[in-house]
Chain A
Amino acid sequence: QKEVEQDPGPLSVPEGAIVSLNCTYSNSAFQYFMWYRQYSRKGPELLMYTYSSGNKEDGRFTAQVDKSSKYISLFIRDSQPSDSATYLCAMKKAAGNKLTFGGGTRVLVKP
């Protein structure tokens, strides 16, 4: 079983809809949680970086962390065709700097 599980999709939504993404993890040692966006033939771009359980909002993006359930989410409001990409969750333990990634969810926002 992988340490971090993420539905590969694709997740197809109409423009303007809310995109809901999530990851589950098995190792309670993970303390830092990130969401990256990766366009085709590009590197991952950091969207959100969180530590504690709860919500963090940045523009159209909201990240949620529930450490008790080992579950993290990313919501994208008012989705645009330019949001079409693969979204990767990543996690890190308190010690060390190795990121452990989910497999990524491909998102398609249709005009």
Chain B
Amino acid sequence: EAGVTQSPTHLIKTRGQQATLRCSPISGHTSVYWYQQALGLGLQFLLWYDEGEERNRGNFPPRFSGRQFPNYSSELNVNALELEDSALYLCASSLRSRGSNQPQHFGDGTRLSIL
């Protein structure tokens, strides 16, 4: 069974540009989560999508946004990139989570570097 897949593996951008990161969940999983792992800050929750809807977001500015498609894959968009956005962006997926507690399984991430 294929795990969570993310693309691209590495993305290099300059300040002010926009970045798009993609995630395909494990087959059968309908919930997708995005986390940021920045040096010195650890893993921080960004966004949660379930059945196409944004269910929760972490303490990040609105220039971090995303969406979930009908096939449950997801996209994270970061606008007006800043140097401190340089980090590993991790996507996780789980079985439907509302009303239950399902473990989250992670992909290997997209490393975003801002020059």
Residues in A lying within 8 Å of B, measured CB to CB: 32, 34, 36, 41-46, 49, 51, 88, 90, 92, 94, 96-104
- Interface flag for B105 (CB, 8 Å): yes
Given contacts A97-B55, A97-B94, whether A88 and B43 have CB atoms under 8 Å apart is yes
> Count of B residues near A, CB < 8 Å?
23
Which residues from B are CB-within-8-Å of A90?
Answer: 43
Q: Given contacts A43-B90, A88-B43, A98-B45, are A32 and B106 in contact (CB under 8 A)? A: no
- Supply 20 A–B pairs (Cβ within 8 Å), ascending by A: A34-B103, A36-B106, A42-B108, A43-B4, A43-B106, A43-B109, A44-B43, A44-B90, A46-B103, A46-B106, A49-B103, A90-B43, A92-B101, A97-B94, A98-B48, A99-B33, A99-B35, A100-B45, A101-B44, A104-B42
- Are B107 and A97 in contact, with the CB atoms below 8 A? no
Residue B97 interfacial (CB < 8 Å):
yes
The answer to whether A96 and B56 touch across the interface, beta carbons within 8 angstroms, is yes
Nearest CB of A to B2, in Å: 14
Q: Does B104 contact A (CB under 8 A)?
A: yes
Chain A residues whose CB sits within 8 angstroms of the CB of B94 once the complex forms: 97
Residues of B within 8 A of A88 (CB): 43
Interface residues of B in 12-61 (CB under 8 A from A): 31, 33, 35, 42-45, 48, 55-56, 58
Please, which residues of chain B bring their CB within 8 A of the CB of A49?
Answer: 103
B interface, CB within 8 angstroms of A: 4, 31, 33, 35, 42-45, 48, 55-56, 58, 90, 94, 97, 101, 103-109
CA distance A101 to B105 in the complex (A): 14
Q: Please, which residue of chain B has its CB at the minimum distance from the CB of A44?
A: B106
Q: Are A103 and B42 in contact (CB under 8 A)?
A: yes
Chain A residues with CB under 8 A of B35:
99
Cα of A94 to Cα of B100 in the assembled complex, Å: 9
Q: Could you tell me the distance between the alpha carbons of A106 and B44 in the complex, rounded to whole angstroms? A: 18
CB of A27, distance to nearest CB on chain B (Å):
14
Q: How far, in whole Å, are A92 and B42 apart by their CA atoms in the complex?
A: 16
C-alpha gap A58/B107 in the complex (Å): 23
